[in-house]
């Protein structure tokens, strides 16, 4: 059996590469080991591997004897290093027990501090520290935390008891509580525990405490909030969390002690200056939980904010200097911006965590570009370091600096970006309203990790309490949600569902706007402007373009989308869905007339009305895109999608066509299909009603000739036939397109280059790609339909059950979002191979939604496609993802 427990601190060095493995020890465990080994002050401890967590969860919550033995040995390592024994009544060793997965999941799993205290060891701690108040405060914190996290008791009961105790003594703040007050409260806490557990007392055995906490941390991997976080961040459920057990150091031993959270650079903007917060005489979780509003780390940040409470730089200059040295060391070592937790115990600095810091997209770009300039990393590393999906944050409108703002209050600028939306006061409401399409701003006194689903559903987050490094802020930055925290003028009344800011009372549902860049909260909506893609963004894109092999096109069908996509760097159109043009109100009646006609003649009459409209569409698109290639797909959806529905629509149509309403209704009835996605759609329309495709082909070629004549820039139409399953279908339709082109070229007295090709979106087409390539000059993989037809899962109905499939690990991700590499991917690879065998130069692309998904783009690179095509806002994402894929 492989080693399950790894120690760190106290001079241990591991030769075993497993001891550096983040997948095995979690990010926190691996980094604690690494910090200790480069000589930083880390309290000694040990890490139980993620493998053990997975085993524990799979095997029904059992600890093996060998694990118990390894933990006992590791505990001795801590005891020896600090010179205290666990459970020693005279001078007890206390430990923290923390989770730590492969990737950080801030606040999503459990932590217990001060473990090892009981009725006897608390007296020892009081004697050794010479501070009764500290010892009893630590014990009451422990009882409270352990009862919540391990025993699963309602933490509200303990908070209530504390509030009552303060009230009875006439105190306002916890700091007024004396040693005796804390001692009395511990007594009450123990009574609560016994009552809530039917007489079972709070555990006094320190080993029972330890194993209880380890079990709770393992179990917290499967807590609801952890599951939601994993789903939102594509973290597989099979990874498990490690457990870190570490000697306690105390930030709550008076005014020379403190605890804090810091980033080596500003995680919101990427600016190179220390960024963080600390609390004097406080314990670790006080800062991250956002319970007390913390103080600034640096003098300059304090001055800039106008705060009066001294910064750490001013209040504890020696510890601050040491911390600054550690920051620099860590950045040089990890070559990235670090997010750090530290504690100062009676003037001595201790490092409790370091990890690469979560950052906004703007900060990610600045950090990447700056670090290349500083010589810390190279261009390739910079490209690989920016999460392509994060770019989405930068592509959307921001508040117009010249717009009028009715500022209600200003809080802390915790996560940048701007959002307007309706006030909602709890996470469930946020989710429900967002589901019905409303933009909402989640407003809370403080957010707790249980709010994660509401934060995700919201466009922005406003909290009355909490600092810049509270969980709300960290999670919001990671999600790219604007967040204003610590807006202390905000008071929330959940009973009346109102929010008051100064004299202004707002109701749930009223609209506010947040500016996460300066912390402003504004009444009503504020105008926005389109983003400018310059500076660091442009630089990184330029580097990415220099390293990618695949082309990036766009899926677009309006001139506005084409223009935007081109601005975002699209190198052509990969899919122009012509059916969207048919829905336009001015033409839908001609389309309906065409569909309901009972003869070719009737259809041709209606199509003649559509021809000039389609020609205009294509002219505008070619003008926007020439001389880049434009793949235009001929009509694809089942015709009944265009049919009138309500009585008045039928009446209107009767007037236009001269047919009676009853006749039209009967025709519509005849067109009904049981399974339209597998019915009369795609190239089957062209086979049965060739005049439709003929009209579209004519419109394409006439427009292309006109644009070439007018602008001198010839567009390159790539006419694409959808839903082909056999070579013969393509043969017939290609001839139709070629004949139409020849006719138009004769009429216009000029020729232009064009291609005819097909989508590969049926398994049969993939299998027969060798034969189909004889007729196709290009393939574009329509992986939406290919996924649907390969999995036998309806695109339109999958929502009802697919999330359960992903939760249960049947699919690692939604296969309509990220390509099913094992199944659908195999068909793609096979079609690529067979298509190229027939026609070596065949052009290969992808135009399903997967063309904008970084993981799928990685697959496309490996499979050797020539280009990916994505919706306009995904074009920059695809450019970066394609470069990353090429570099991997
Ligand atoms: C596809 O099926 O992947 C595709 C791009 O076509 P549509 O989504 O229009 O069916
Ligand atoms: Mg399709």
Q: What does the pLDDT read at residue 726?
A: 98
What mean pLDDT comes out for the span 105-126?
Answer: 92
- The SS3 of residue 310 is coil
- The SS3 of residue 306 is coil
> 785 CB under 6 A from ligand 1?
yes
Q: What does the pLDDT read at residue 109?
A: 82
% of the chain at pLDDT higher than 70: 98
Q: Does the pTM exceed 0.85?
A: no
How far apart are alpha carbons 394 and 565 in whole angstroms?
Answer: 15
Q: What does the pLDDT read at residue 481?
A: 84
| Residue to probe by mutation, ligand 1, list 576, 684, 722, 827, most atoms within 8 Å of CB | 722
Q: What does the pLDDT read at residue 507?
A: 96
What mean pLDDT comes out for the span 358-385?
Answer: 95
What mean pLDDT comes out for the span 269-281?
Answer: 92
Residue 542 in this model has a pLDDT that exceeds 80: yes
Q: What does the pLDDT read at residue 478?
A: 66
Residue nearest to atom 10 of ligand 1 (CA): 785
The number of the ligand 1 atom at minimal distance from the alpha carbon of 784 is 3
Is the alpha carbon torsion for 116, 117, 119, 122 positive or negative?
A: positive
Mean pLDDT of the chain: 92
Q: What does the pLDDT read at residue 814?
A: 86
Banded model confidence at residue 428, pLDDT cuts 50, 70, 90: very high
Least confident stretch, 220-229, 447-456, 617-626, 817-826: 447-456
Least confident stretch, 521-525, 642-646, 685-689, 773-777: 642-646
Banded model confidence at residue 648, pLDDT cuts 50, 70, 90: confident
pLDDT digits (tens, 9 = 90+) for 803-858: 788 878 899 888 998 999 999 999 999 999 999 999 999 999 999 989 999 999 99
Ligand 2 center to 786 CA (angstroms):
8
Residue 727 in this model has a pLDDT that exceeds 70: yes
For 622-675, the three-class secondary structure string (H helix, E strand, C coil) is: HHHHCCCEEEEECCCCCHHHHCCCCHHHHHHHHHHHCCCHHHHHHHHHHCCCCC
Length of the chain counted residue by residue? 888
Higher pLDDT, 570 or 529: 570
Q: What does the pLDDT read at residue 698?
A: 98
> 486 CB under 6 A from ligand 1?
no
| Residue to probe by mutation, ligand 1, list 556, 576, 761, 850, most atoms within 8 Å of CB | 761
pLDDT digits (tens, 9 = 90+) for 319-328: 999 999 999 9
Least confident stretch, 38-52, 630-644, 779-793: 630-644
**395-429 core/surface letters (b: 16 or more CB in 10 A; e: else):** beebbeeeeebeebbebbbbbbbbbbbbbbbbbeb
How far apart are alpha carbons 480 and 455 in whole angstroms?
Answer: 10
Banded model confidence at residue 565, pLDDT cuts 50, 70, 90: very high
Residue 287 in this model has a pLDDT that exceeds 70: no
CA atoms within 13 A on the CB side of 153: 24
Residue 697 in this model has a pLDDT that exceeds 90: yes
What mean pLDDT comes out for the span 359-386?
Answer: 95
Report phi then psi at 149, rounded to 5.
-75, -45
% of the chain at pLDDT higher than 90: 72
> 783 CB under 6 A from ligand 1?
yes
- The SS3 of residue 579 is helix
pLDDT digits (tens, 9 = 90+) for 733-760: 999 999 999 999 999 999 999 999 999 9
pLDDT digits (tens, 9 = 90+) for 139-169: 999 999 999 999 999 988 999 999 999 999 9
The two tokens of residue 211 are 């194993």
Q: Are 285 and 111 in contact (CB under 8 A)?
A: yes
Give me the active site residues, please.
471, 847
Higher pLDDT, 580 or 335: 335
Q: What does the pLDDT read at residue 131?
A: 93
The two tokens of residue 465 are 């309490």
Banded model confidence at residue 290, pLDDT cuts 50, 70, 90: low
> 871 CB under 6 A from ligand 1?
no
Report phi then psi at 559, rounded to 5.
-60, -35
Q: What does the pLDDT read at residue 291?
A: 61
Ligand 1 center to 853 CA (angstroms):
15
Banded model confidence at residue 289, pLDDT cuts 50, 70, 90: low
For domain 258-359, the CATH architecture is: 2-Layer Sandwich (3.30)
For 546-573, the three-class secondary structure string (H helix, E strand, C coil) is: HHCCCEEEEECCCHHHHHHHHHCCCCCE
> 577 CB under 6 A from ligand 1?
yes
Domain ranges of the chain: 5-247, 258-359, 397-529
For domain 397-529, the CATH architecture is: 3-Layer(bba) Sandwich (3.50)
Q: What does the pLDDT read at residue 560?
A: 86
* DSSP codes of every residue in 680-733: S-THHHHHH-HHHHHHHHHHHHHHHHHHHHHHS---EEEEEE-S--SHHHHHHH
Q: What does the pLDDT read at residue 344?
A: 96
The CATH topology of domain 5-247 is Dna Ligase; domain 1 (3.30.1490)
Q: What does the pLDDT read at residue 812?
A: 85
Q: What does the pLDDT read at residue 761?
A: 97
Residue 660 in this model has a pLDDT that exceeds 80: yes
Residue 383 in this model has a pLDDT that exceeds 70: yes
pLDDT digits (tens, 9 = 90+) for 500-514: 998 899 999 999 999
The number of the ligand 1 atom at minimal distance from the alpha carbon of 785 is 2
Q: What does the pLDDT read at residue 170?
A: 92
Banded model confidence at residue 58, pLDDT cuts 50, 70, 90: very high
Q: What does the pLDDT read at residue 363?
A: 93
Ligand 2 center to 722 CA (angstroms):
7
């Amino acid at each position: 059996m492989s080693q399950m427990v790894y120690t760190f601190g106290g001079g241990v060095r591991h030769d075993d590469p497993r001891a550096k493995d983040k997948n095995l020890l979690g990010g926190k465990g691996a980094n604690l080991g690494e910090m200790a080994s480069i000589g930083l002050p880390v309290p000694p401890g040990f890490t139980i591997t993620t493998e053990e967590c997975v085993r524990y969860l799979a095997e029904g919550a059992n600890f093996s004897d060998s694990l118990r033995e390894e933990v006992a040995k590791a505990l001795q390592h801590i005891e020896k290093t600090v010179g205290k024994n666990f459970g020693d009544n005279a001078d007890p060793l206390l430990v923290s027990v923390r989770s730590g997965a492969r990737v950080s999941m801030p606040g999503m799993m459990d932590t217990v501090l001060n473990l090892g205290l009981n009725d006897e060891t608390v007296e020892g701690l009081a004697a050794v520290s010479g501070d009764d108040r500290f010892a009893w405060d630590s014990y009451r914190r422990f009882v409270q935390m352990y009862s919540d996290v391990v025993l699963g008791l309602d933490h509200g009961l303990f908070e209530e008891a504390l509030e009552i105790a303060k009230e009875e003594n006439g105190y306002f703040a916890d700091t007024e509580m004396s040693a005796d007050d804390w001692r009395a409260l511990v007594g009450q806490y123990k009574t609560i525990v016994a009552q809530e557990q039917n007489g079972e007392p709070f555990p006094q055995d320190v080993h029972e405490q330890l194993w209880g906490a380890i079990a709770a941390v393992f179990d917290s991997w499967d807590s609801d909030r952890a599951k939601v976080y994993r789903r939102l961040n594509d973290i597989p459920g099979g990874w498990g969390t490690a457990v870190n057990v570490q000697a306690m150091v105390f930030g709550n031993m008076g005014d020379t002690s403190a605890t804090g959270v810091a980033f080596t650079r500003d995680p919101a903007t990427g600016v190179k200056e220390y960024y963080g917060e600390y609390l004097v005489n406080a314990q670790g979780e006080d800062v991250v939980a956002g319970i007390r509003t913390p103080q600034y780390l640096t003098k300059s940040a304090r001055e800039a904010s106008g705060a009066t409470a001294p910064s750490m730089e001013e209040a504890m200059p020696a510890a601050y200097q040491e911390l600054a040295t550690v920051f620099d060391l860590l950045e040089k070592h990890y070559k990235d911006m670090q997010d750090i937790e530290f504690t100062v115990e009676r003037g001595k600095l201790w490092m409790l965590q370091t990890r690469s810091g979560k950052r906004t997209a703007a900060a990610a770009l600045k950090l990447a570009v700056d670090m290349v300039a500083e010589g810390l990393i190279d261009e390739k590393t910079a490209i690989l370091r920016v999460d392509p999906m994060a770019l989405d944050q930068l592509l959307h409108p921001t508040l117009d600096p010249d717009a009028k703002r009715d500022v209600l209050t200003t809080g802390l600028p915790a996560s940048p970006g701007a959002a307007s939306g309706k006030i909602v006061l709890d996470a469930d409401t946020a989710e429900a309203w967002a589901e019905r399409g409303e933009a909402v701003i989640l407003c809370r006194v403080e957010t707790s990790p249980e709010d994660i689903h509401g934060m995700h559903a919201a466009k922005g987050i406003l909290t009355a309490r909490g600092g810049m490094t509270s969980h709300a802020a960290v999670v919001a930055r990671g999600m790219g949600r604007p967040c204003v925290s610590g807006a202390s003028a905000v008071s929330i009344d959940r009973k009346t569902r109102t929010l008051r800011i100064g004299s202004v009372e707002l109701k749930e549902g009223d609209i506010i706007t947040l500016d996460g860049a300066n912390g402003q909260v504004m009444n009503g909506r504020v105008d926005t402007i389109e983003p400018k893609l310059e500076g660091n963004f442009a630089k990184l894109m330029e580097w990415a373009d220099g390293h990618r092999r695949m082309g990036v096109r766009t899926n677009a069908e309006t001139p506005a989308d084409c223009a935007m996509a081109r601005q975002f760097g699209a190198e052509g159109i990969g899919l122009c869905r012509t059916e969207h043009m048919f829905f336009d109100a001015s033409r839908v009646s001609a389309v309906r007339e065409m569909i309901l006609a009972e003869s070719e003649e009737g259809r041709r009459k209606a199509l003649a009305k559509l021809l000039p409209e389609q020609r205009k569409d294509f002219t505008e698109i070619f003008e926007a895109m020439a001389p880049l290639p434009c793949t235009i797909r001929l009509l694809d959806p089942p015709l009944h999608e265009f049919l009138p529905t309500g009585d008045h629509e039928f009446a209107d149509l009767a007037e236009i066509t001269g047919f009676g309403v009853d006749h039209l209704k009967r025709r519509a009835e005849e067109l009904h299909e049981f399974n339209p996605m597998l019915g009369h759609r795609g190239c089957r329309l062209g086979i049965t009603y060739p005049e439709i495709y003929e009209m579209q082909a004519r419109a394409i070629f006439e427009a292309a000739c006109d644009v070439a004549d007018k602008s001198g820039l010839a567009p390159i139409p790539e006419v694409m036939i959808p839903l082909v399953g056999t070579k013969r279908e393509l043969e017939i339709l290609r001839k139709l397109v070629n004949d139409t082109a020849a006719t138009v070229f004769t009429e216009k007295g000029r020729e232009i280059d064009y291609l005819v090709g097909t989508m590969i979106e049926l398994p049969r087409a993939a299998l027969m790609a060798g034969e189909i390539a004889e007729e196709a000059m290009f393939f574009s993989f329509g992986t939406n339909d290919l996924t649907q037809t390969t999995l036998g899962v309806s695109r339109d109905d999958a929502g009802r059950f697919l999330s359960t499939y992903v939760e249960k690990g049947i699919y690692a991700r939604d296969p309509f979002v990220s390509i099913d590499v094992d199944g659908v991917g195999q068909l793609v690879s096979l079609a690529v191979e067979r298509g190229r065998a027939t026609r070596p130069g065949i052009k290969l692309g992808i135009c399903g939604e997967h063309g904008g998904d970084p993981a799928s783009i990685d697959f496309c690179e490996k499979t050797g496609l020539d280009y990916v095509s994505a919706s306009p806002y995904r074009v920059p994402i695809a450019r970066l993802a394609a470069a990353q894929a090429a570099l991997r």
